[in-house]
């Protein structure tokens, strides 16, 4: 997998053009899916998000397309 980054270093690398956001996201999702088989930490993956925006558009976004996880703490019972 691509080198791991903090959010700040990821944004800097995307803006500098040293990381392709779509490739990084695809690798991150694939890694999370592999680990999820063991840990069962995620309910859903949105793999369709990969490649929806151009690299130039992603550079302008506040988080530069960083892969993030959202914890759902809503009781549904």
- Report if residue 67 sits inside a domain: no
Domain count across the chain: 1
Q: Is 47 part of any domain?
A: yes
Domain extent, residue 38, equals 7-60
In a domain, 70, yes or no: no
Q: Could you give the C-alpha distances from 42 to 8, 33, 37, 48, 76, in angstroms and in order?
A: 24, 8, 9, 16, 16
Model's pTM, two decimal places?
Answer: 0.81
Number of Cβ atoms within 10 Å of the Cβ of 50: 19
Angle value at C-alpha 12, between 51 and 58, nearest 5 degrees: 25
The band of 1, judged by pLDDT with boundaries at 50, 70 and 90, is low
What is the greatest pairwise CA distance in the chain? Answer: 46
Say which residues have a Cβ less than 8 Å from residue 43's Cβ, sequence separation at least 6: 72
User: Is 26 among the domain residues?
Assistant: yes
Q: pLDDT per residue over 7-61, tens digit each?
A: 999 999 999 999 998 889 889 989 999 999 999 988 888 877 767 878 888 888 9
């Amino acid at each position: 997998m691509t080198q791991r980054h903090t959010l700040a270093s990821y944004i800097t690398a995307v803006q500098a053009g040293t990381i392709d956001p779509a490739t990084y996201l695809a690798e991150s999702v694939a890694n999370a899916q592999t680990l999820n088989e063991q840990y069962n930490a995620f309910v859903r993956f949105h793999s369709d998000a990969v490649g929806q925006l151009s690299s130039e558009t992603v550079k302008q976004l506040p988080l530069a397309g960083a892969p993030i996880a959202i914890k759902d703490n809503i009781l549904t019972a």
